[in-house]
Structure 1
Amino acid sequence: MVVSIILCSLLFSAMSSLNSQCFEPPPRLPGQKIEEYCESFQINAEAGNIREWTLPIECVGFVRRYTTGPRYLQDLSFMADQATKHAQSIKVRDDGRDSWVFDVDETLLSNVAYFAKHNYGASKFNQTDFSIWIEKGKATAIVPMRTLYHKLIKAKWTVYLMSQQRNESQRAITEKNLRDVGYRRWKKLFLSAPRRLNVVEDINTAGNSKWYGEIKSSGGRIQATVGDNWDTDFDPNPFPGSMAFKSPNAMYNMA
């Protein structure tokens, strides 16, 4: 998953020059409360109805309460339950080719501690700064996803991991971070190629199609994918009959 927000400096103390065209959030309806507006914004952003968005500044409190409160974990648990039922509906063959694909950041690993210091996606995103956070290896496990992951491993599924947000130079720290919080026995971790990290990202990405292709060309049967963003985490049709499970992420969009 690559964080590529259409960046607009939403400063809290003073305005400065903008690096890109500002995202203009839809207006609030007459009489609509902030909480109601932010909930509608979240639902539509998650559904992909709002393209290339930045979290409206007035919704920072809403996202903080959602992400750090019980509702976020409840929504994740609901999704994980549906994914578990899908996995149980498939007879896993003995050839090791039946596969699940997981995104890493905001699907298996949580970076909420980082984004809490950056206004939960409303302030300008800086890839260099985020890479420094990655190098600390302190991302925590998303518990419902870890539970799902362990169920799949126990049931002899082959698991692949993908991240467009982390590059090859961060492989060792990423794998250590994953192991430290309880993930084991993945088949392969796909990471993006080295790229410039000294500029702010505001570009679109091609998604993970090349990695899905590699899995399929090696004989893998992709039965499901799990990620937090429709644009970067999912192939339009990674394998006939496969399922795509979208985990909630109210902090930012990967358009």
Structure 2
Amino acid sequence: MASSSVESEQDPEPDEPTFRFDQNNTSSQSLLSGGGSGYESQYGSLFGTIAVVGIVLVAAIITLAVMLSSCGQNSTVNVQFKRSADFCSSFRLNIELNNMQGRALPGTCDAEIFEYVHGGQYIKDVEMAVNSARHYLKSLVLEDNQSFGVILDIDETALSNVFLYQNGGYRSKEILDESFGRRVNTNTAAPLLPVLDLYRELRAANWSIFFVSERPESALKLTVQNLLDSGYEGWRGLFLRSAGDSESTVQAFKSNNRIEIEKQGYQILCALGDQWSDIVGPATG
């Protein structure tokens, strides 16, 4: 299998770790204790939340009738704006539900996307998803003689690029792919802080953490530096996509690497990412 695996040489020592692991206790126990802390589809990362432990957080109520209001001639500007907002909300929800397979995003939604990303809701959704993972991991009672693994995606999971987009820059696939390549090659992605907090807690509890990303293998050195500069230290493995993987789907690439990790003796109990490929298929926890 063509992939690149790199182990971080540095190990963090976070102060007062939230998660604790007693390695001297040979009985079954809760691994986690304490309180929490504060390109298949690029649009899933702009609109959606992080997919956690096979659970994608989506709205509980789906609006079935969108943009089907009356076509009367007396529509006001406010009504037209509401129709646009309703349409964009429905578009966002269907992306989260994986119903929108293409990348085409209506230009009428540019303002709504900008507000979602820069108005605070995006980071709130990330925090809620990460807290769901945290609560799940705290609930586990496992034998301490096993090697436990957590899988993380990189872009829009460990690192964030969405705040670099400007209004009107979300729609074109060509623009997205080009800007993504530039960012990878200039080491500009910032840490997504709720994920970084969870990462440090897991490392303090002696979990083995692996990064599986569709970033190209040619960006390995810059990716390692970007992760280290952002505070991600002490990971067990980093898997990037080599030229030999370019013909496979993203899901197949990520699934194959997760299987390889389990063949190395690790038990994957959690997978976090912004794409369905991060939680669909074998070895996702």
Aligned to 1:238: 283
The 1:143/1:92 distance shift into structure 2, 3 A limit, reads farther
1:144 to 181, 185, 194: 194
Distance 2:271 2:131 in 1: 14
Asked if 1:174 is matched to 2:223, the reply is yes
Aligned to 2:181: 131
Q: Aligned letter for 2:243?
A: P
Report if the CA contact (8 A) 2:149-2:269 is conserved: yes
The 1:125/1:204 distance shift into structure 2, 3 A limit, reads farther
Report the Cα offset of residue 28 of structure 1: 3.2
Asked if 1:226 is matched to 2:272, the reply is yes
Q: Aligned letter for 1:237?
A: P
1:214 to 260, 265, 275: 260
1:49 to 99, 116, 119: 99
* Structure 1 spans left out of the alignment, 5+ residues: 7-25, 243-255
Asked if 1:115 is matched to 2:161, the reply is no
Report the Cα offset of residue 92 of structure 1: 5.5
2:239 to 190, 194, 209: 190
Aligned to 1:73: 123
Asked if 1:88 is matched to 2:138, the reply is yes
The 1:158/1:196 distance shift into structure 2, 3 A limit, reads closer
Report the Cα offset of residue 132 of structure 1: 2.2
TM-score (norm 1): 0.74
* Structure 2 spans left out of the alignment, 5+ residues: 1-38, 44-64, 71-81
The 1:62/1:118 distance shift into structure 2, 3 A limit, reads closer
Report the Cα offset of residue 27 of structure 1: 7.8
Aligned residues: 214
Provide Cα deviations, 1:100-131, integer angstroms capped at 9, x if missing partner: 10000011111124433761234634645532
The 1:75/1:187 distance shift into structure 2, 3 A limit, reads same
Name the larger-Rg structure: 2
Report the Cα offset of residue 146 of structure 1: 1.0
> Match of 1:160, SS?
strand
Report if the CA contact (8 A) 1:99-1:223 is conserved: yes
Report if the CA contact (8 A) 1:97-1:221 is conserved: yes
Provide Cα deviations, 1:31-85, integer angstroms capped at 9, x if missing partner: 6521221111111111112222322111111111111121111111111111001
Aligned to 1:251: none
Report if the CA contact (8 A) 1:87-1:152 is conserved: no
The 1:212/1:180 distance shift into structure 2, 3 A limit, reads same
- Aligned ranges 1:18-37 → 2 under 5 Å: 28-30=67-69, 33-37=83-87
Distance 2:231 2:270 in 1: 21
Task: State percent identity of aligned pairs.
Answer: 28
Aligned to 1:156: 206
Structure 1 segments, 4+ long, off by >6 Å, are none
> Match of 2:262, SS?
helix
> Match of 1:173, SS?
helix
Distance 1:116 1:61 in 2: 10
Distance 1:61 1:137 in 2: 28
Report if the CA contact (8 A) 2:148-2:268 is conserved: yes
Q: Aligned letter for 1:211?
A: N
> Match of 2:155, SS?
coil
Provide Cα deviations, 1:148-201, integer angstroms capped at 9, x if missing partner: 11111112111110111x11111111011111111111100100003799xxx9
The 1:222/1:114 distance shift into structure 2, 3 A limit, reads same
Q: Which has the higher contact order (CA 8 A, sep 6+)?
A: 2
Report if the CA contact (8 A) 1:92-1:98 is conserved: no
> Match of 1:120, SS?
coil
Report if the CA contact (8 A) 1:158-1:187 is conserved: yes
Distance 1:153 1:73 in 2: 23
Q: Aligned letter for 2:262?
A: K
Report if the CA contact (8 A) 1:100-1:160 is conserved: yes
